[in-house]
Amino acid sequence: MSRPTDHITAAAAAAEAESKNQQQRRRQRSDSPPALPEQPFTDTQIKQIFGANADIDSDTGNYLLSVIHYRRETGSLAEHGVGPTIHEVWSEEMGQRGLKWLRERYPLDEEAAAADWAEHEAAKLEDNMYIKRGQQLGLYKRDKDSEVDTEKDDTGWRDIVYGKSGLDMIREENIARRAEKHRQKEEEERREEQRQRANAQLELAQAESARKLGRRRDGRPLPKNQKRSGESDALVGTEKESAWDYWRRRAVVLDSPTPPRLSTMERIGPTTLVTLLTVAACILFASIYTPPDRDSRWFPDVPPAIATALGLTAIHVLVFLAWRGLGPAWRFLNMYFVHVPGYPFAMSTIGSVFSHQELAHLAVNSLWLGTVCVQLHELIGRGNFLAVYVSSGVIGVWASMVWHVSRGVLITSSLGASGAIYGCISALCLLLPNQRIDMWIPFTNWDWGIPSIPVLVILALYEAFGLFRLSSRTSVDHGAHIGGMVTGIVGAQLIRWQVAHRATKAEEMRQEKGAFGGNAPWRQSKAEGVKPEETD
């Protein structure tokens, strides 16, 4: 038979155990730091971190690592240390081993975190002083809704004695304001880094241009023994400025090493307007163009397709010669025959299509112009061909500019008829999907055909791969090529629709003519000046 005192003793022991459990749960709730990315670690991994002789299980080891790393992040490591401040099995040696492993595995700026911690603690002590003073004077009351038994602080694990007050809110606002200032500072540093990168790109471009032209970056010539030796050699020696060097210096359009600050609309807007007007003019020209009579042509014995190709090639050659030897025209060419996203001239959208600075670039485009473009001309006529050629080139320049501006690449340039050539190739491949495109290699006996659709697919894949391979530096304007290809595809579809529409109208006229048994009587009466009503 049990005695009453036994029941009292058992109840007291149970109450004491429950109290200890609650305190343990409360401490775990307030002292649970965030886990590491690789946690939880196994017993084997914990032994490797703390040593094979360490008497510690995986749960305690994971908890120890989390606490130390949290103190490193918050800056409270200098105050709390790594010793047995929370868990009874800790030792200073264990803490140092865990700290060493964490510093090697997860490096971070502990000094900066400690400085933030000290600043925060000083502000909190000042706030607590005002809170206590307000309570003593009866000016401050606890916020019952914000009171908790124990709440984890964001910089350490301390019990919060007072509820969240107005001063706490003010402190949070100050913290948010400091975070916003820090974010603005980082944004300004990022912009400054982008500006410096743009300046470096511009300097490289100027140095490369000077190397190609055999002159210094300031426009003065290099000594003969230093031609094409690079930018470092361009800074040595002084010579009297010649006429060519004078025109080179005068050709500089933008004196500043950085492009002007313009919005995206200010950069793209004028070019877009010129592009739309040019395409509209091309469509109008194709719809109203009438081929001249043989007697009205300058070269009646030359086929129209060959004459058109030779005319375009002549324009390309004249602009190329102006780049190479006509000094007074260099400033005009820099403004209207090369397109630069950083400092765009709207009319250069058209002029850059007919502009080439390198002989190899001119030769390749002339080869395509004399082969594929001639076939397209013979198939669709001069009006449609010129509309496709000019529209593809202009839209290609516009597409290149939009692509570079969207990526923030302003120190670059675009020129050449490649976009127009790609548009003609795409249009011919779609108009002749089941045939081969004739290719003729000059100064050889090769005259062979290549299948049209595979050529179009291969070109599209190559340009798409080159466009999105952003890590590579290339002189090929893939954006202009893709813009020209898309324009050629759309132009081919419009030409198909035009041919089908004309065929339908011709069929209707034939049916109408057949219904009257030849010439309609009302047409004959009209030609004789008689009204249709007066005929039988």
Asked if 519 and 456 touch (Cβ cutoff 8 Å), the reply is no
Least confident range from 28-37, 247-256, 358-367: namely: 28-37
Mean pLDDT of the 130-155 span: 50
Residue pLDDT, tens place only, 173-207: 878 888 888 888 888 888 888 777 776 766 666 66
CA distance 459 to 9: 91
Q: Which of the four pLDDT bands, split at 50, 70 and 90, describes residue 443?
A: low
- pLDDT for the residue numbered 235: 40
3-state secondary structure 125-170: HHHHHHHHHHHHCCCCCCCHHHCCCCCCCCCCCCCCCCCCCHHHHH
DSSP 8-state symbol, 443: T
291, amino acid identity: P
Q: Which of the four pLDDT bands, split at 50, 70 and 90, describes residue 74?
A: confident
Residue pLDDT, tens place only, 9-53: 454 555 555 555 545 544 444 455 676 766 777 777 877 777 777
Mean pLDDT of the 366-389 span: 89
pLDDT of 214 strictly over 80:
no
Q: Which of the four pLDDT bands, split at 50, 70 and 90, describes residue 87?
A: low
> Quick one: how far is CA 478 from the chain centroid?
14
CA distance 497 to 512: 23
pLDDT of 363 strictly over 60:
yes
Mean pLDDT of the 408-432 span: 86
Q: What is the mean pLDDT of the chain?
A: 73
Asked if 154 and 113 touch (Cβ cutoff 8 Å), the reply is no
Domain range annotation of the chain: 15-112, 184-250, 313-515
- pLDDT for the residue numbered 20: 53
Which backbone phi and psi does 369 adopt, to 5 degrees? -65, -35
Least confident range from 58-72, 114-128, 349-363, 452-466: namely: 114-128
Q: Which long-range contacts (CB under 8 A, 24 or more apart) does 1-4 make?
A: none
- pLDDT for the residue numbered 281: 94
Asked if 417 and 354 touch (Cβ cutoff 8 Å), the reply is yes
pLDDT of 446 strictly over 80:
no
Highest mean pLDDT among 297-301, 345-349, 388-392, 440-444: 388-392
Query: With pLDDT > 70 as the criterion, what percentage of the chain qualifies?
Result: 63
Give which of 534, 290, 266 is closest to 410, Cα–Cα: 266
Copy the structure tokens of residue 174. Answer: 């100050």
116 vs 186, more confident: 186
Residue pLDDT, tens place only, 307-351: 899 999 999 999 999 888 887 887 888 888 888 887 778 888 899
3-state secondary structure of 341: coil
Q: Which fold has domain 313-515?
A: Rhomboid-like fold (1.20.1540)
- pLDDT for the residue numbered 389: 94
412 vs 88, more confident: 412
C-alpha distances in Å from residue 221, one per residue of 204, 207, 213, 254, 357: 18, 13, 9, 20, 19
